[in-house]
Amino acid sequence: MNPSSSLFIVGPTGAGKTSVGRRLAVHYGLPFVDLDQEIEQHTGVDVSTVFDIEGEAGFRQRESTLLDECTRRSHMVLATGAGAVLDPQNRRHLVARGFVVWLQTSIEQQLERLERDNRRPLLAGTHRLARLQLMAQIRAPLYRDIADIAIPGEHGSVNDASERCIALIDSHWQRHPISSPPQIA
């Protein structure tokens, strides 16, 4: 069991990291942070624009910097970007600083969920299936290596997925309590 005060959610594009993460944050009474949204707040533009201007390498550098900063905070739920696990230092930060939850999903589910989504730079253009397959081949072993638990992807609502997550997390997460300030006598 990984004793930690924070939950870090990893998984492929379209797994539901943000949707489920928000529900987990409410359930556990913790603030929610989405790493892509943090990047957008810091840059003042959307992720696609960062990719257009700086390329994937520039985006990944920003992502690593903010992941380091965010994972230093305690008592939170953090939804990472799907590719955050590509950097070895990011993986070390996730493992050392939080309880890592891997939301799994099939490529078929990704295609279905992302059918109308045009905001993801790595899925732009044609050959979406091939891109998702390649990403899964590279990233799945990395998710597996750092995950404290894996939540199997199943068809159903966000609420159903969140309930499955809560049940598994509750049986595996030894949560550090929020420290109270010292009492002055």
- Tell me the average pLDDT across 36-58: 90
Q: How far apart (Å, rounded) are the C-alpha atoms in residues 21 and 18? A: 5
* Three-state DSSP state, 101: strand
Q: How far apart (Å, rounded) are the C-alpha atoms in residues 27 and 70? A: 20
List the chain domain ranges. Answer: 7-172
* Three-state DSSP state, 156: coil
Q: What are phi and psi of 64, to 5 degrees?
A: -65, -40
Model confidence at 13, in pLDDT bands (50, 70, 90)? confident
User: β-strand 77-79 against 32-34: which pairing, if any?
Assistant: parallel
Averaged pLDDT of the chain: 85
Q: What is the pLDDT of residue 7?
A: 95
Tens digit of each residue's pLDDT (9 = 90 or more) over 79-108: 999 999 999 999 999 999 999 999 988 878
Q: Which two tokens stand for residue 91?
A: 């993986």
**How much of the chain, in percent, has pLDDT values that exceed 70?**
83
Tens digit of each residue's pLDDT (9 = 90 or more) over 147-156: 999 988 766 6
- On whether the CB atoms of residues 33 and 104 are closer than 8 A, the answer is no
DSSP string, 66-98: HHHHHHTS-S-EEEPPTTGGGSHHHHHHHHHHS
Indicate whether 32 pLDDT > 50. yes
34 strand-pairing partners: 79
Indicate whether 122 pLDDT > 60. no
Indicate whether 184 pLDDT > 60. no
CATH number of 7-172: 3.40.50.300
Tens digit of each residue's pLDDT (9 = 90 or more) over 125-149: 667 788 888 889 999 999 999 999 9
User: β-strand 32-34 against 149-151: which pairing, if any?
Assistant: unpaired
